Amino acid sequence: MGHGLANSSFKNPVIRWMDQRLPLFTLMHKEYAAYPTPRNFNYFWNFGALAMVVLMVMIVTGIFLSMHYTAHVDYAFDSVERIMRDVNYGWLMRYLHMNGASMFFIVVYIHIFRGLYYGSYKQPRELLWILGVIILFLMMATAFMGYVLPWGQMSFWGATVITNLFSAVPVFGDQIVMWLWGGFSVDNPTLNRFFSLHYLLPFVIIGVVFLHVAALHITGSNNPLGIDPKGPQDTLPFHPYYTIKDTFGLGVFLIFFSLFVFFAPNYLGHPDNYIPADPLVTPAHIVPEWYFLPFYAILRAVPDKLLGVVLMFGSIAVLFILPWLDTSKVRSARFRPIYKIFFWVFVFVCLMLGYCGAKPAEGIYVVLSRLGTVYYFAHFLILLPLLGKLERPLPLPTSISEPVLPRGGGAITAGATAKPMDKA
């Protein structure tokens, strides 16, 4: 950190003048254009960029919805109906925002399972992974509070059940719940603070996403082979190779998103939320939004209140220590024949838990939820630590380019010791 001006390689005098004083252009160029990226990404590497786009869509639509929304128990429901009927393009803004939340979770869940499959959480990307889990927690809190804002029956009872989870805390439980509510039940003070926090948290998410990307650009991206790039023959500059790949993926994704927004805007929602909140009547069957269902199934699988709550939060928190639970040094499941099988069993169990979460808590669904819950935790706490020791991985290729370049890119031995990622 010297005095004077920063170096800039930009030619345009205006850009150069700014860049020398605040090297934003150099930074952007380094991180988003020159950034050396493994050459073998598949389409699963699109989902981080997609998540970023959805976050922007949520913030823009949210800001405009807030211009018409009224956070008061007597007006909230009607103000949302007014957005739908009277505000110009209000319906579009709300349907984008409503379905955008679901898209956000679809994209982020795929992004997370990508990481699980290719071992992206392993050394040296542990902190990057932990920041991702923090983002997941923040997203869940944001989506939960957003769902309360339209003040329908599901809003109200969802808020009641979820805030009551904290009453399971020993000794202070009831005080905590009263503090969350600002009263004796979910009511106007609750709605007001939820709106305030719902507006705030997405910006906190931006902050954590920034750290997430900063950490990524230190370690460099993982790739489908899970081995480190050995030299320039293994990487490509981010621009134009991956900017174009991401743009193509974005196009496909936006078509998918639009199908919901324009043709089935309420498909992912629940009709009871078009009934105004009634604090004296619980709907016969309350279910959370689809993205919370597996966790809801875990909560209901346990007959004990405190333990149910602990396991529900634990099912996400266990992801924090995943980098240390998985003892295998091999990242990608491509070279882990047994892990690969258990990975797909795990995906199946998560889907099954989601299915059970949508069903009433009785009969076979309780049994399946219990089995699923046990398996979910066993996957992380028993299978992964053991597999790393017992499984015999397949031989790893010597470099990323070896299977694709003639004579094998690995032939350039000088590059094998230099890690371009460190320079990036």
Partner 1 sequence: MADITHPDGQDSEGNGTTRRDFLYLTTAAVGAVGTAAFAWPFIDSMNPAADTLALSSIDVDLSPIAVGQSITVSWRGKPVFVRHRTAGEVQAAEEAPEGDMIDPEPDDARVINPEWLIVVGVCTHLGCIPLGQKPTDQRGEYGGWFCPCHGSHYDTSGRIRKGPAPLNLPVPEYEFLSDTQIRIG
Residue numbers at the binding site for ligand HEM (CB under 6 A): 55, 58-59, 62-63, 65-66, 69, 80, 94, 97-98, 101, 104, 139, 142-143, 146-147, 149-150, 198-199, 202, 205
Binding to partner 1 (CB under 8 A) within 400-419 occurs at none
Q: Among residues 64 and 77, whose Cβ is nearest to partner 1?
A: 77
Q: Among residues 80 and 165, whose Cβ is nearest to ligand HEM?
A: 80
Q: Which residue has the tokens 């252009």?
A: 25
Query: How many residues in the shown chain lie near partner 1 by CB under 8 A?
Result: 34
Angle (CA) 3-219-378 rounded to 5° is 145
Catalytic residue list contains 126 = no
The catalytically annotated residue of 30, 72, 217, 239 is: 217
Catalytic residue list contains 389 = no
Q: Among residues 86 and 304, whose Cβ is nearest to partner 1?
A: 304
| Cα distance between residue 160 and residue 146, in whole Å | 14
Spatial contact of 83 and 68, defined as CB atoms under 8 Å apart: yes
Q: Among residues 33 and 67, whose Cβ is nearest to ligand HEM?
A: 67
Our separate counts of H helices and E strands in the chain read 18, 2
At 37, is the secondary structure helix, strand, or coil?
A: strand
Stretch that binds partner 1, among 180-188, 258-266, 345-353, 385-393 (CB under 8 A): 180-188
179 lies in the site for partner 1, by CB under 8 A: yes
Binds 185, which of partner 1, ligand HEM, none (CB < 5 to 8 A, cut-off by type)? Answer: partner 1
Interacting residue with partner 1 among 60, 113, 182, 206 (CB under 8 A): 182
Interacting residue with partner 1 among 184, 255, 395, 413 (CB under 8 A): 184
Annotate 38-87 with DSSP letters as a single string. ETT--GGGGHHHHHHHHHHHHHHHHHHHHTT---STTTHHHHHHHHHHTS
Q: Among residues 269 and 357, whose Cβ is nearest to ligand HEM?
A: 269
Binds 65, which of partner 1, ligand HEM, none (CB < 5 to 8 A, cut-off by type)? Answer: ligand HEM
Catalytic residue list contains 217 = yes
| Cα distance between residue 190 and residue 72, in whole Å | 10
180 lies in the site for partner 1, by CB under 8 A: yes
| Cα distance between residue 346 and residue 380, in whole Å | 10
| Cα distance between residue 138 and residue 310, in whole Å | 18
| Cα distance between residue 167 and residue 317, in whole Å | 19
- Kindly give, in sequence order, each residue whose CB lies less than 8 Å from that of residue 186, ignoring residues fewer than 6 positions away: 148, 156, 159, 160, 163, 279
Phi/psi region, residue 363 (left: phi>0; alpha: psi -120 to 50; beta: rest), is left
Catalytic residue list contains 81 = no
Interacting residue with partner 1 among 111, 122, 230, 300 (CB under 8 A): 300
Q: Which helix (H) or strand (E) holds 235?
A: strand 235-237
Closest residue to ligand HEM: CB criterion? 62
| Burial per residue of 212-239, b for 16 or more beta-carbon CB atoms within 10 angstroms, e otherwise | beebbeebbbbbbbbbbbbbebbbbebe
Q: Among residues 98 and 325, whose Cβ is nearest to ligand HEM?
A: 98
Which positions lie near partner 1, rule CB under 8 A?
157, 160-165, 167, 178-185, 187, 189, 193, 279-282, 284-286, 300, 302-305, 308, 361-362
Which residues are identified as catalytic? 217, 221, 245-246, 289
